[in-house]
């Protein structure tokens, strides 16, 4: 029987979606595993989250402390090290908080660490077989993780099928008293909200989205022309924003905008999970990429192996002539 602790991030009294995905992941490790939710925070919001989780988990550990009001990874790590059994498996999401928390947590718990698991293929003895991706999703790998002395594992959000919240009838165990000294060398100051851009890509039904395949700033024009012809809006992947060719508000992805268009034209975009994570609502995805092995072809509806710099102008001409 494997003991698994699932760390549940939350905001405004609402648990993150991954709370519903952990049970499926745990079952893939070991059908007889015991899965305990863990929440940290402070005050009524935390109680609200903990109560909600009792409909999904049989046991919910809550750690309430004013120092945990904002999820500062250093503080959360200290609390978890003091409360959790180090020989267990700890789940967290592979998001910006999990990435901040978990590598260090694995060191402090002296356990193994696997980041960004997308699937599990069971345990053999203490060896857990995990599926991951490398090189921006271009290749997958199997890794084994020796869980004998515990393991910290982050799960890719959306990779496991969510369960329905039901009536697990869970109990809440208050471990606030065990959190220990939570003084930190890193202090949270404030959240600076994203700037609003001139165009709201979240409102458009059709997006012509460009990635690094556009190659040069001047070529953005080519996408702009296609978008105009299609009465669409230009959005982009992150490298385009990093290069300052388009503003941040045009970026689709986990660290950019979440969009729900009807049609998404991915032009010269490889299809990393951080990019695809910003596309919701199951749009019709057209991918044009000169690499026939680009990962985007596994998630797109229609794939075209072409050079976008030649393909887009021709498509524009044709659309205009209609």
Partner 1 sequence: MEILVCVKRVPDTAENEFELNSAGNDLDRDDLVFSVNEWDNYAVEEAIQIVDNVGGSVTVVTVGDDESEEVLRREMAMGANNGVLLSDDAFEGSDGKGIASILKAEVEKGKYDLILTGAQADEGAGQIGGMLAAMLDLPYASLVNKIEAGDGKTVKVGREIEGGNQEMNEIDLPCVLSIQTGINEPRYVGIRGIRKVASVEIPVHSAADLGVDANVIGKDNAKVKRVDYFVPDLGEGAEMLEGSTEEIIDALIEKLKSKGGL
Ligand X SMILES: Cc1cc2nc3c(=O)[nH]c(=O)nc-3n(C[C@H](O)[C@H](O)[C@H](O)COP(=O)(O)OP(=O)(O)OC[C@H]3O[C@@H](n4cnc5c(N)ncnc54)[C@H](O)[C@@H]3O)c2cc1C
Q: Would you list which residues are annotated within the binding site?
A: 212, 237-238, 251-255, 268-275, 289, 307-308
Q: Name, in order, each residue with C-beta under 8 angstroms of 272's C-beta and a sequence gap of 6 or more.
A: 136, 137, 237, 295
Pick from partner 1, ligand X, none: which does 241 bind, CB < 5 to 8 A by kind? partner 1
Site string for ligand X, 241-280 (x = CB under 6 A): ----------xxxxxx-----------xxx-x-xx--x--
CA dist 287 and 294 (Å) reads: 10
How many positions of this chain bind partner 1 (CB under 8 A)?
99
Q: How far is CA 220 from CA 210, 246, 283, in A?
A: 8, 9, 23
Pick from partner 1, ligand X, none: which does 308 bind, CB < 5 to 8 A by kind? ligand X
Residues 226-285 that bind partner 1 (CB under 8 A): 230, 232, 238-239, 241-244, 248-249, 251, 254-258, 262-263, 265, 270, 284-285
Residues 117-176 that bind ligand X (CB under 6 A): 136
Pick from ligand X, partner 1, none: which does 100 bind, CB < 5 to 8 A by kind? partner 1
Euclidean distance between the first and the last CA atom of the chain, given in angstroms as a whole number: 64
98 makes contact with ligand X (CB under 6 A): no
Site string for partner 1, 91-130 (x = CB under 8 A): ----xxx-xxxxxxxxxx---xxxxx------------x-
123 near 92, Cβ under 8 Å?
A: no
34 makes contact with ligand X (CB under 6 A): no
300 makes contact with ligand X (CB under 6 A): no
283 makes contact with ligand X (CB under 6 A): no
Cα-based torsion angle of the residue sequence 230, 231, 233, 237 in order, rounded to the nearest 10 degrees: -10
Q: Provide the minimum distance between the beta carbon of 289 and ligand X in the complex, in angstroms, as a whole number.
A: 4
List strands edge to edge, sheet with 89-93.
112-117, 151-155, 89-93, 3-7, 34-41, 59-64, 171-174
How many positions of this chain bind ligand X (CB under 6 A)?
29
Q: Provide the minimum distance between the beta carbon of 172 and partner 1 in the complex, in angstroms, as a whole number.
A: 27
Q: Beta strand pairing status for 127-134 and 119-124? A: antiparallel
Q: Residues within the annotated binding site for FAD?
A: 212, 237-238, 251-255, 268-275, 289, 307-308
205 near 263, Cβ under 8 Å?
A: yes
238 makes contact with ligand X (CB under 6 A): yes
135 makes contact with partner 1 (CB under 8 A): yes
Q: Provide the minimum distance between the beta carbon of 239 and ligand X in the complex, in angstroms, as a whole number.
A: 5
185 makes contact with partner 1 (CB under 8 A): yes
CA dist 284 and 200 (Å) reads: 20
Nearer to ligand X, 110 or 301 (CB): 301
62: three-class secondary structure by DSSP: strand
CA dist 138 and 293 (Å) reads: 8
Q: How far is CA 92 from CA 77, 98, 199, 315, in A?
A: 12, 6, 35, 44
Nearer to ligand X, 87 or 255 (CB): 255
**Closest by CA position to 261, among listed 232, 283, 277, 239:** 283
Q: Provide the minimum distance between the beta carbon of 211 and partner 1 in the complex, in angstroms, as a whole number.
A: 10
For the record, the structure tokens of 42 come out as: 């402070």
294 makes contact with ligand X (CB under 6 A): yes
Binding site for ligand X (CB under 6 A): 96, 136, 211-213, 215, 237-239, 251-256, 268-270, 272, 274-275, 278, 289-291, 294, 307-309
């Amino acid at each position: 029987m494997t003991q698994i602790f699932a760390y549940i991030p939350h905001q405004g009294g609402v648990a993150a979606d991954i709370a519903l995905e952990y049970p499926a992941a745990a079952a893939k490790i070991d059908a007889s595993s015991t899965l305990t939710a863990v929440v940290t925070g402070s005050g009524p919001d935390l109680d609200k989250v903990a109560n909600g989780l009792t409909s999904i988990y049989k046991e919910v550990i809550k750690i309430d402390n004013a120092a945990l009001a904002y999820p500062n990874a250093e503080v959360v790590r200290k609390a978890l090290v003091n409360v959790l059994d180090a020989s267990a498996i700890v789940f967290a999401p592979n998001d910006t908080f999990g990435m901040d928390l978990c590598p260090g947590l694995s060191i402090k718990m002296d356990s193994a660490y696997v980041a960004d698991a997308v699937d599990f293929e069971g345990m053999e003895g203490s060896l857990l077989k995990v599926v991951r991706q490398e090189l921006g999703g271009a290749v997958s790998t199997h890794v084994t993780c020796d869980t004998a002395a515990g393991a910290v594992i982050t799960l890719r959000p959306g990779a496991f099928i969510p369960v329905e919240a039901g009536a697990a009838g869970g109990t809440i165990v208050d471990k606030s008293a065990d959190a220990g000294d939570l003084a930190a060398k890193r202090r949270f100051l404030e959240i600076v909200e994203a700037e609003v851009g001139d165009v709201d890509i979240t409102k458009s039904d059709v997006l012509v989205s460009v990635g690094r395949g556009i190659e040069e700033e001047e070529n953005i024009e080519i996408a702009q022309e296609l978008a105009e012809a299609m009465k669409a809006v230009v959005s982009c992947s992150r490298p385009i924003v990093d290069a300052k060719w388009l503003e941040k508000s045009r970026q689709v992805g986990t660290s950019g905008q979440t969009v729900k268009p009807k049609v998404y034209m991915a032009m010269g975009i490889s299809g990393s999970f951080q990019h695809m994570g910003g596309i919701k609502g199951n749009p019709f995805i057209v991918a044009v990429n000169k690499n026939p092995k680009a990962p985007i072809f596994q998630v797109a509806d229609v794939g075209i192996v072409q050079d976008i710099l030649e393909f887009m102008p021709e498509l524009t001409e044709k659309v205009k002539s209609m």
